[in-house]
Structure 1
């Protein structure tokens, strides 16, 4: 187990000052077209001190991949000035700045896409209330999307970020291609695990090609994944273990498991002997650093995660307790915000879009 204060150097050469990372969170603070706002820049700057890295909320790589209003975009060069300002604001505190890049796939709607139908691996709706049936992507569209991830990586490099995280979790497009629920294709991008993995393999090639061509200093590429799906058919834990075998053999700097709580066990009874985090860590065999996440609020949680991971990501706690990492490093544990998040919404200074987003989640009234 590593102490959270110890540095970590990725295979790319980027070094984090410590093992604490801000996890990517939706905040809906961007302009309607995805341009970074001043409030958004300040939000990240306020939380950067004391962290090894910040991973921004998801940024779409194509207009058709937008998942919700107020979402960050990295789909066009016109976004570069504000993206650059965001990276610099994070880095001013000695913290590395990573931008998470994604495509929502079927997890969006026509209203968000200005009337356009969502796309996915196949024309299968998500299992959720009000889900729209997407249009199956053509092979040409698949290739264009893969290239869009490469172009987004180039923009991240040019904007001065220290890395990108590929959002292969939370049922968005990358995961949709690997999932047997959302991918019913009968061509080279669907069917067997290997064919459903092809989209990911080509995506990695595109992203690393951009790194090789444009990066003039060390640049991180990470990958976030969800370990299981509830749908039938869907991704099972054995599928994820197979996926990890492929990913740990790649050039990725780290893997980031998406969990609501770090001690959660797999749904599959064959893997109930230990937590998902412990099983994933064992499967990686020390070849790729793992970011653990889920319900981290205090020193004990940090220690528990670092028993089975090299890095620990913190989300909601930092949303409501911006100087949490500094307090932890200074031993000021009594000053850590311990109130339930449903109560913290009422007394945490948040701008209106962020407050309304958080209030809707916790059932609070809309801010006047």
Structure 2
């Protein structure tokens, strides 16, 4: 008899959108789009293979502005010409009843002039990221900031027209929304920076513009999510006290869930080693039921997923494990857990819909954390007390 796990319960958002269970596929980079950001048939196959079991499927990220592209092989939503292809993405992700969320972003300084075809990256301030070969970005003007805010609104309209069930604003992993909130990347002294409150102004303006697009164009329940990274290790950088204040403000915004991007679901503070309370529980306490919460980070087994939802966290996101086992939910539902794959073989990549560019990205960024069957496995402790090589899966 199938064991009943709490993550198999359905969930209903306040706006009426209902998902059949609380398992989420988080946004995972698959670097398989065409050079111009158009969808490829390889991507559609990859997406449809993983749809149907989970309640909520969040897409790989799509850039909203021409100068917002972060890497090659990335989806684009910068123009109406992408809507037909994105409609195919939404259809593939909604196969057999999963709800489809399109993640959107602007990469800001986490890009480079090669990706941008000779154009200098932009950010809140002209401060380079603390990473190898990072380029110093150009500080955005007020007019440019307003233009990017509008780009997020237009991207939301396109997502609605393409048939998605919602969008997720990527305010995590050091991209532009986070760059404006961070005291490391934002050294402005105008309305867009300076105090903690002013560093919130850009993401709050984006949320407002996105909400206006939803009200104007959506004729069905359309979810707006927001993803955050709770801490930075740079100095100055985002600390947990900043995040809790931001979370308190986000709880009163017209958004439908908060998604916390980490490499380990139960991570404690990267900056205060004496604090042993998991960050996700701090955020849950701060929200106090005002927003649904998604937790992610190295969750692989049904028992690990249940530990998340048993603690009252609304949804659990399963990333790398869904790459290895696209039918994870279906196997749990049919009492077939013994057949779940927890390793991946390079001989099975085509069967799993994983393209060569995606595999190269995975083994470069995550290496042994992918549990490659014929290679030494990774130390599971490595993500618990530091940033993962690729956060949020």
Bin of the TM-score, shorter chain as denominator length? over 0.9
Shift of 1:303: 1.1
Q: State the distance in 2 between where 1:313 and 1:143 align.
A: 33
Provide the C-alpha distance between the structure 2 equivalents of 1:300 and 1:199, rounded to a whole number of angstroms: 39
- Which residue matches 1:227? 230
- 1:54 Cα deviation from its structure 2 partner: 0.6
Normalised TM-score (structure 1): 0.95
Aligned-CA RMSD value: 1.6
User: How far off its partner does 1:322 sit?
Assistant: 1.1
Q: Does 1:175 align with 2:169?
A: no
- Residues 286-309 of structure 1 show CA distances to partners (whole Å, capped at 9, x for unaligned) of 110000000011111101111141
Structure 2 counterpart of 1:356, from 338, 355, 360? 360
Partner of 2:267: 264
Q: Aligned partners of 2:231 and 2:274: how far apart in 1? A: 12
Closer, same or farther: CA 79–105 of 1 in aligned 2, 3 Å: same
Separation (CA, whole Å) in 1 of partners of 2:271 and 2:364: 33
Is residue 2:91 matched to residue 1:85?
no
| CA distance in structure 2 between the partners assigned to 1:249 and 1:346 by the alignment | 49
Identify the residue that residue 35 of structure 1 maps to in structure 2: 38
Could you tell me how far 1:347 is from its partner in structure 2? 3.5
Q: Quick check: 196-205 or 272-281, which moved more?
A: 272-281
Equivalent residue, structure 2, for 1:338: 342
Match of 1:321 among 320, 325, 329: 325
Report what 1:58 is aligned to.
Answer: 61
Aligned equivalents of 2:62, 2:342: Cα separation in 1: 30
Tell me how far 1:273 sits from its aligned partner: 3.6
Q: Which residue is 2:292 aligned to?
A: 289
Aligned CA distance change for structure 1 residues 279 and 346 (closer, same or farther; 3 Å): farther
Instruction: Give CA-to-partner distance per residue, 1:196-245, whole Å, 9 cap, x none.
Output: 00101111110000001000111000000000000000000000000000
What residue number does 2:257 align with?
A: 254
User: 2:77 — aligned with what?
Assistant: 74
Deviation track 1:42-76 (CA, whole Å, cap 9, x = no partner) reads 11100012110110011000110000000011111
Q: Deviations over 1:71-113 (max 9, x none)?
A: 0111110000010011112212100000000000000000000
SS of equivalent residue, structure 2 residue 57: strand
Question: What's the CA shift for 1:268?
Answer: 4.1
Deviation at 1:141, TM superposition (A): 0.3
Q: Which runs of 4+ in 1 moved over 6 A?
A: none
Separation in 1, partners of 2:113, 2:271? 35
1:162-184 CA deviation, whole Å, 9 max, x = no partner? 00000000000000000000000
Is the Cα contact below 8 Å between 1:278 and 1:308 reproduced in 2?
Answer: no
C-alpha distance 37-191 of structure 1, shift in aligned 2 (>3 A): same
Structure 2, unpaired ranges of 5+: 369-393
Alignment of 1:238-253 (within 5 A): 238-253=241-256
Following superposition of structure 1 onto structure 2, how do residues 99-138 of structure 1 map, counting pairs within 5 Å? 99-138=102-141
Once the two structures are overlaid, the 10-residue window that deviates more, 117-126 or 270-279, is 270-279
What does residue 310 of structure 1 align with?
Answer: 314
C-alpha contact 2:154 2:213 (8 A) present in aligned 1: yes
- Are 1:60 and 1:75, in contact at CA under 8 Å, matched by a contact in 2? yes
Conserved? CA contact 2:62–2:74, under 8 Å: yes
- 1:259–1:294: 8 Å Cα contact kept in structure 2? yes
Structure 2 SS opposite 1:4: helix
Corresponding residue number in structure 2 for 1:347 = 348
Counterpart residue number, 2:390: none
CA contact (8 A) 1:320 1:345 kept: no
Please, which moves more after superposition, 144-153 or 90-99?
Answer: 90-99
SS at match of 1:279: helix
